[in-house]
Every structure is written in C-alpha cells, then in structure tokens.
A and B are shown apart, each in its own frame.
Chain A
Amino acid sequence: MNKPVSIFFAFVLVFSLLLGTMPNANASEIMPYADSEFNSATTLLKATKQVSFRAVTYSVKSSISVSACWLEKKNNDGTWSTVCPLPTPSFVASETFAYATTVDYSDYIGTGTYRIRATYNADGHTITRYSNERTF
C-alpha cells in the first residue's frame, strides 16, 4: 500500500473513532433517559418536614427500597449544595411492584429552602430522583 493511501485510511479511521467517542450534546439535551423498571418515583417533602417516598415498577420485584438519601439546601445564587446524607427508610417492600413509606427528617432540616435527593432500588436497578423543594 502506497503512502498517500495509507494516510487516507489512517485519516478515515481516526475520524471514525472521533465520531464514535464524541458526546452528542444535542442528543443529551433533548433525549432524557427514561427508565426501564420504574414507572414513577415520587419523593415528597412535606411542610411537616416528613418525607414520603413512593415508587411503582412495571413488574413484581423481589425487593424495592430507598438505598440512599441526601438533604440538599438551596444557595443564594440558586444552586444546590448537599447538606448531609440522611438515614434511609427502614421499610423494604418485597415481592411487590409498589413502594410507599414516610420518614420524619425534622431533626435534619433547619431554615431555608430544601429538597431531598433519593436513590430508589428495585432488585439492584437504581434511579436517583429529586423531591419538590420547600422553604422552611
């Protein structure tokens, strides 16, 4: 193979690799990731500083739980900062497709605007979702 042809093929190869590895910014903006297991995952921060965790899956799971939970506080510039991890609900639903429980986090929430970040776990499949924000 002569030199110009080799350079051409090398160029095509590199270009192809670049295309394959470059993130598609537009796609990530307009195509959010759906979830294959969870139909809904609602984390509700109430005025009482209690938090309700509710989730429904598309099929019966051996176990559904909240495996991680954090408290976040809104900064003056509108951004969010993690305040602390929260104890996860002790309730674990088994052999079912729906999960619901309520936990009191009043000891952790002070004054300001807060939200909860929670990770739901269904047989090892996890999604992390946010609650509504509420000002205390």
Chain B
Amino acid sequence: MENNRMLIGKLRQALMSGNITYDDIVRRLTKAVEDEYLKPSPNVDFIDTCEKFLWEISTEGQQKFVSVSDHYLEVIKQHSEVKTQARTPNRPVMGFAKRMALICATFALLLCITQGAIHFEWFTQGSSTDKQQYIIQGHGATISLIQKCIAEHDACSELKTSSWDELCDYLGFAPSVISPGVFQLDEALYQVYVEPGIIMVNALYETPPGNATALLTIQYYTDVDEALFIFEQDASGEQISINNHPVYVTTNLNRVSFSWISDSAISILAGTFDYELGEKIVEQLIGGYTQ
C-alpha cells in the first residue's frame, strides 16, 4: 500500500511540475487499472489508490471520493432502512446476537465484493449479423448478491402493478425509473420479474391518446450467465455521450431508443417521444445511478 502511495505522490508531483499532461496521466492510470483487473488476483489496494487519484484530479479535489464498495455499503444501509420501515410491524424484534450475526455477514459479503468481484466488464456490444437486433452481453459479478438480498425473492416471481409504492415495496428499493408525473408521462404500469440471476423492471407510460408513449426496461443482473439483452432496431445506431456516459441510440420504426449500462444493469428507454425529450430523461436517469 505504501508503494502505491509513493507512486501516486510521484505522479502528482510530475503533474504539478508539468512533466506529464493531464490526459496522459488519465490514460496511463486507466490502462494500469484495466490491466490490474485482468490479473487473476488483482491488487485491490492499487486499484483503489489509482481510482481515488483519478477521481481527485478529475474533480480537482472538489468532490469526495466514494469507492464502489462504499457505494454498495450505502445501498445496503438504504435498503436496511427501507426494510425496517416497511416490515417492522410484521416481524419480531431481532435479538442482539442475530443483529451482530447479520452485521458480520454483511461485512463478510462486502469483503468478498471488495476482493475483486466489484468489476463488471461488458465485453460484447454490437448489431447482430443481419443488423436486425442490437446485442449487449456482459459478465460481471456480485452486486448481484446485494440485489438478491434487496429483492428477497427466492424463486421466480412476478408483479404487475400501477402503484409506485407497491413496486418499491416488492423490490425493497426504488428503481431508477421515471416517476409518474415527470416529463408529462402520467400513467405508468410496472411489471417486475425476479429470478435468481436477474431482476427485470419494466415501466410502460401511457399518455392521453395521440401523445407520446414510453417504455423503460431495466435489467439488473446478478449472475454472469444471465447478462444478455437483445433489442430490436431497424438500422445500425450511434453511440452518443450523455453526462459523460456512453449511450447507444437507435430507432425501431418510428420509435427512438436509448440504451446504456450502469453498474450491473442495462437500461433501455424507447418510445415515440422526441429525441430531445429522450435525452433529457436519460440524463435524469443516469444522474440517478451515479448519486
């Protein structure tokens, strides 16, 4: 760990003295992190140190660095709060020993995640041979377990509702979908499908007749073997950047669709709305992921 700090110290000095450019340092550190991830036993300290430094120079030290593991811890905390509020009346008070066991299990889980399972690398994106469909396939690990914990559904189960509260209660967390009433998308119908390896959340927004409709699908993968999503397109699309996040934009007949990857989830927003409106919605949703 000390060697890592010394290395970063030297890089910081080189950057301040002008011996190395900002772009060069970002490129070299990013490559070093990627190479480290590919090793059989990645050095997590090295990765954390590099990512922390990258964050520091990209935000000019104005924003606090939050590691991926810290982010997951925060998610678990939020989840715990939601569950406590929603289910306390139906459950007996948990004993001290059980609570301690649960806390230990949580930290053991975090430890496993931190030791190399946090990296979710998407390795295939592209149109099918006949250009009929666009394919995203990935492999990843883990947060899955947290998602499972959040969902608390042991076997296959399904929910169809128009109630936002019921949706959140079923999942145990609030998914990054568009809240009813926002962007003039009033009526929403939600459909959730949960399986051990995947949570599929679909939201269909219906507006008054003649207006735009929108469909939002988010697939949270919890298993490498499940990470495949194939959607329709009528021509090869293009990749754009929204909030510095790569987003693939394509069309399917008279509908535009935006798709993007965040952590272990794939999202797609499609509908007959204007392109500019789609960009605004995606901007909001991506912002929601990174908070």
Contact = CB atoms under 8 A, between A and B. Distances in A.
B156 A34 contact: no
A48 B223 CA distance: 13
Contacts of B234: 31-34
A97 B136 CA distance: 21
Contacts of A82: none
Interface residues of B, number: 38
A39 B231 contact: yes
Contacts, number: 96
Consensus secondary structure, chain B interface: strand
Interface of A: 30-36, 38-44, 46-48, 52, 54, 56, 58-60, 96-98, 100-102, 129-130, 132
A98 B200 contact: yes
A46 B137 CA distance: 13
* A interface secondary structure, majority: strand
Interface of B: 128, 130-133, 137, 156, 158, 160, 189, 191, 193, 195, 198, 200, 202, 204, 213, 215, 217, 225-226, 228-235, 251-253, 255, 257, 268, 270-271
Contacts of B235: 30-32
A102 B200 CA distance: 13
Given A42-B231, A54-B193, A129-B133, 18 more contacts: A34-B233, A34-B234, A39-B232, A40-B217, A40-B229, A40-B268, A41-B133, A46-B226, A52-B195, A56-B215, A58-B270, A59-B204, A60-B189, A97-B191, A98-B191, A129-B230, A130-B128, A132-B228
Contact of B202 (A31, A35, A46, A56): A56
Contacts of A130: 128
Contact of A97 (B158, B202, B229, B257): B202
